[in-house]
Structure 1
C-alpha cells in the first residue's frame, strides 16, 4: 500500500485546510428569501445585502450500499425545504494541533450538500464554485472562512461544496471495479464535485446566477481538484473558467498498473482491506464510518485520484501536454512561504556547505549547476524552503498557466508574498493557504491557531484587491482591481502578479525555476521508475540520465 507521506498526508497538523465552523456569520433579517429551483423550493436567510441558502443536497446520501458508488441524483422534493442551517462536514479523521485545526466537530456521511450566497435581487450574475482544500482528507465547504458576502457585494454568486473525503471518497478496489458498469473504481469524491457542478448548471439560474458563466476555484487539494476537473472528460462543459491556488501535480495511481513508484489503485485498496483485517467490500460497507475513517488514516491510507481511463484518462501532466484539458481561461499561483507550515516536507539540513554541494551533485548529475544557482548552499534554511516550495507548488503553477496558454486561453500567474505582524512573528510569512482569508475577506473566521490578521484599513484594502481580481476574472475572464495594476496575460519567462504589501507586477519571474523542475519531472516520467513529488535535495532519488526529448521540451 502506498505510504501515507504522499504530500500532506504525512502530517495531519500541516495541511488539513480550513475546516468547518458551526455558525453563520452576520445577523440575519426576518425575511426569508425563497427560491423555486428545478431541484425544489428552498427558503434561505437574508444576511445584509446577500441571500444565503445552506446545506442544499445535490445528491443522495452515500450510505449503506451507496458507499463507494457514484453520486445518485437527489429526487425533486415537494414543499419548501429550509436552507438556513449550517451543514455537516463529510467524515474525516481528527487532526493534530496546528494552524489549520478547528478542533472537534460533528460530521456525517450524509454530507453531499452545498451553500449558495447570492446578491439580493441577482440576475444573470457570474457564478464561482469553491472547492475546499485539506489533502482530500479534511475540510468542509461550510466553513465560516468561506463566507460569500464579499463576492455578493461584487455581484457574484458563490457556491461552496462538500465532497466525500479520504477512504470514503477515493478508495479503489477490485470488487468495486467489478460492480461498476465501466469496470472502474475510485474517484468518488471527484464524481461528487462533478455532480455538484451539474447541479449548478441545472439550478443556479433560479438563484439569479448565470449558468453559462461558472468559475471553479480551489486551494491545495481544492486546486488539485481543479486540475482533475480540467483534465476529466466527465466534467467537460460544466464550467467556463478556473482558478488554482497552490496546486500540485504529483504522480497519480493508475487503476491496475504499478508505475512511477506507485502501487496500482486497486492494489492500494486491497492492501488496505487486508491491513484492516476486513475481508472485502461488503464488510467494509458494514463498518461504522467513524471507525473506518480513523482506521484507514492510522493504516497510512492517502487518498488520491485514480487514472481509470474514463474519469481521469492519463497522468495529469500527460493530459496537459497533449492539450486535452478543458480550454478555459485560468489563474494559477503559489505562496512564497508555502513550506513554512508544511515543514515535514523539508529535506534534512546539511552538515555544511561542502556536504550539501556533494549531495546535490550525486543526486542531480548534469543539472547540479542549474540546481545550485537557484538553491545555493549559503543559506541552508532558505534553500530548503525555496527548493521544496518550487518543486511542489511553483513548478505546478507555472506549468498550468503555460499549458493553458498553449491551447489558446488567457492565463495569469500570481505569487502571494503578503506579510503581516502575527505571521512574521511566527515565521509564517505567506504560508500555505494564507491567501484564503484575503480571497474571501473573512479575517475573523480563521482557525484558532492561525496567525491573526489585523483589522486595519491596509489589510482590508489588500483583501479588496484580491476580491476584485478574482471576481472580475469570473465576470469577464480578465482580472482587474480598482486598487491594483492591470494584470498581464502570462507569457513564458515573463510577468507574474506579486501580491505582496500591495499588488504589483514582477517582470521575468523566477528565471530558471520552471525549466529545472520541468526537466526533472520529464526525466523521471520517461524513466518510469520514479515519481515526481516533493522530494528535493537529500531526499531526492538519483536523477535519470538526460534524454533529447526532455531537454528539447519548452
Structure 2
C-alpha cells in the first residue's frame, strides 16, 4: 500500500516527495483558512480543488512572535492566520496491511511552535516502527486560546477553544484520509510534549474527540492548566483593553485589526498576567460547557474522559530550562510562594526539597509544581479507569549536566524522535554520552511504537496503580521505581494553581 507520491484525499489529489526511506507530504489543509469572516470561528471544511496540489514545501506557521517559529539557525517560518495544515510521513516501502498512525501535537505554551521543525518530521520513527506519522499546526495564542465570546454580536460570533477545535478537525481529517497514505484509521495514537501534552489530555476530555484516537501519550504536560469561565472573561476584557478599544466596539476591532496587532495585545496581556499571578497560565483551554465540559484533569480523575490507554510522564529537571532561558515558571522562592499563596503549603514543600530555599532546590520545586505535581494526579486518576503507564525521564549527557540543565524540559523529544544522530544529538553528546543517548532512544521508540501498535508498551513496563505507583525511570540504564519521590508527592497534595479572579 502506498508507493506513489500522488494521493487522492477527500478534498483532491496531493503530491508529496519521495526520499530514500520515507515519503513526505507537507502542509496539507485539514480546514479552511480561518481568515475574514472565519476569524475566531470554529474550523470549517476545506474547499475541494481540481488538479494536483503540490505538497512538498511547508506553508505558514500559526500566528505568533517570529522567534517562536524558528526552524533553524537564522531561519524562521513565515506566520499567518492561514495555517491549518498537517504533514504526513510514511515509509517508502509499500505495506500489505495498514500501518499504525501516530499524530504529534507540538508544544510551545499554546503561544509558539510549528510542525515544521525538522525533528518533528518523524522519519526515523516511521521507519523503525513501520508507522505513519502526522504532525499538525493549530491556532495559538490570541487566535486559538482566548475566549472573546462575550463580545459576539448577531453579525460576528466569536467561538471558544479554537486551538482545541482545530486539533479535533485534524483528527477528523486523519480518520477520513489516512488510509490513502497507508495508515490505519482504527489505530491512531496521539502524542505531544509540553502544551502539546496538555492538548492530549484536553482531547481525552473532549466529547467530540471520541473515537478519533485509540491511545494517548502525554510528555511533560502542565496537566491542570484550564481557564474557568470567569477567568477567561476577565482575561479577554484585558486583551480588548490592551488592543485599544472598548467592549462596545470590540467586535469590530477583533474583526478588522491586523493579526499582528491582536497577537501583540494578547501576548502583552499574557506576560503581565504571568508576572502578577505566578503559576497561572492564561493561554489555555476554557471550560466553556460546550466543547470542554470539565477541566481536563478533573474529567480524567472523575472518569469522564475517554478511557483509552495512556502513557504519561515528566522530566527530572523540568524547571532548569525556564530558570536559565525563560521567565514564566515560579522557579524562585518568592515566585513559588506567590503561586502557592499558603504559608503551610510552602512549609511542606520546603521540608520535601532538601536545601530549599537555595536556587537549585527552588528550581526543582518550581518545575515540579507546573509539570510533575499535576501529572501524578493524572496518573492516579486515569489508572482507575484505563491502563496507564508512568515514566520519568532522567537521562542527561555530560554536556547538559555541565550546563546546569540536566534532563530538562523538552530533552525527551530527542530520543522520542530518534534524534541521537542528528546534529543536535551529536552536539549534546560531544562531551560523552552518545552511546547512552542511542540506547535511551531505542528504549523510548520501542516502547512508544509497541504502545502505538498494541495499546501497551514493552512487557517490561508494568501499569501504574495507586497502590504501587510503578514508574519507568528512563536512563542509562533504565529501571523501575515504586512511588518515586513519595515525600514530595505527599507534600504537593491538595495544592492547585491560582486563579485570576
Q: Taking structure 1 as the reference length, what is the TM-score of the superposition?
A: 0.78
Partner of 1:428: 405
- CA distance in 2 between partners of 1:33 and 1:501 (Å): 40
1:79 aligned to which of 51, 54, 61: 51
Is 1:319 aligned to residue 299 of structure 2?
Answer: yes
Partner of 1:269: 236
Q: CA deviation at 1:347?
A: 4.8
- CA distance in 2 between partners of 1:65 and 1:505 (Å): 53
Change (3 A) 1:173 1:67: same
Partner of 2:274: none
- CA distance in 2 between partners of 1:100 and 1:266 (Å): 37
CA contact (8 A) 1:321 1:403 kept: yes
Partner of 2:198: 224
Q: CA deviation at 1:232?
A: 1.0
Partner of 1:334: 314
- CA distance in 1 between partners of 2:225 and 2:22 (Å): 41
1:300 partner SS: helix
CA contact (8 A) 1:171 1:185 kept: no
Q: Spell out, residue by residue over 1:432-462, the C-alpha distance to the aligned partner (whole angstroms, 9 max, x if none).
A: 10110110013466789x9634494442232
Aligned residues: 474
Is 1:37 aligned to residue 13 of structure 2?
Answer: no
Partner of 2:90: 118
Partner of 1:463: 441
1:429 partner SS: coil
Query: Which structure has more RCO (C-alpha within 8 Å, separation ≥ 6)?
Result: 1
Change (3 A) 1:381 1:75: same
- CA distance in 1 between partners of 2:428 and 2:209 (Å): 37
Q: CA deviation at 1:382?
A: 3.3
- CA distance in 1 between partners of 2:199 and 2:315 (Å): 18
Q: CA deviation at 1:512?
A: 3.4
Change (3 A) 1:468 1:362: closer
- CA distance in 2 between partners of 1:124 and 1:254 (Å): 41
Is 1:442 aligned to residue 416 of structure 2?
Answer: no
Change (3 A) 1:73 1:102: farther
Please provide the CA RMSD for this pair. Answer: 3.1
- CA distance in 2 between partners of 1:508 and 1:292 (Å): 45
2:199 partner SS: helix
Is 1:286 aligned to residue 256 of structure 2?
Answer: yes
- CA distance in 2 between partners of 1:232 and 1:361 (Å): 29
Change (3 A) 1:515 1:320: farther
Q: CA deviation at 1:185?
A: 2.9
- CA distance in 1 between partners of 2:86 and 2:31 (Å): 10
1:520 partner SS: coil
- CA distance in 2 between partners of 1:97 and 1:163 (Å): 13
The more displaced of 58-67 and 37-46 is: 37-46
Partner of 1:418: 395
Which blocks of at least 5 consecutive residues in structure 2 are unaligned?
272-281
Is 1:398 aligned to residue 376 of structure 2?
Answer: yes
- CA distance in 1 between partners of 2:243 and 2:206 (Å): 32
Is 1:107 aligned to residue 79 of structure 2?
Answer: yes
CA contact (8 A) 2:34 2:81 kept: yes
1:240 aligned to which of 214, 228, 251: 214
Change (3 A) 1:398 1:273: same
1:475 aligned to which of 431, 453, 456: 453
Partner of 2:284: 304
Q: CA deviation at 1:116?
A: 0.5
- CA distance in 2 between partners of 1:478 and 1:360 (Å): 37
Change (3 A) 1:184 1:307: farther
- CA distance in 2 between partners of 1:184 and 1:314 (Å): 20
1:427 partner SS: coil
- CA distance in 1 between partners of 2:304 and 2:351 (Å): 34
Q: Spell out, residue by residue over 1:6-45, the C-alpha distance to the aligned partner (whole angstroms, 9 max, x if none).
A: xxxxxxxxxxxxxxxxxxxxxxxxx962222223222111
- CA distance in 2 between partners of 1:511 and 1:100 (Å): 40
1:269 partner SS: helix
- CA distance in 2 between partners of 1:360 and 1:151 (Å): 39
2:23 aligned to which of 51, 74, 97: 51
- CA distance in 2 between partners of 1:90 and 1:124 (Å): 31
Partner of 2:167: 193
- CA distance in 2 between partners of 1:105 and 1:134 (Å): 15
- CA distance in 1 between partners of 2:296 and 2:351 (Å): 29
- CA distance in 2 between partners of 1:232 and 1:307 (Å): 10
Partner of 1:5: none
CA contact (8 A) 1:175 1:280 kept: no
- CA distance in 2 between partners of 1:499 and 1:266 (Å): 41
2:481 aligned to which of 490, 503, 506: 506
Q: Taking structure 2 as the reference length, what is the TM-score of the superposition?
A: 0.86
Q: CA deviation at 1:379?
A: 7.3
Is 1:496 aligned to residue 471 of structure 2?
Answer: yes
Q: Spell out, residue by residue over 1:249-302, the C-alpha distance to the aligned partner (whole angstroms, 9 max, x if none).
A: 3352223x3xxxxx3x23322221122213312222212212321232133364
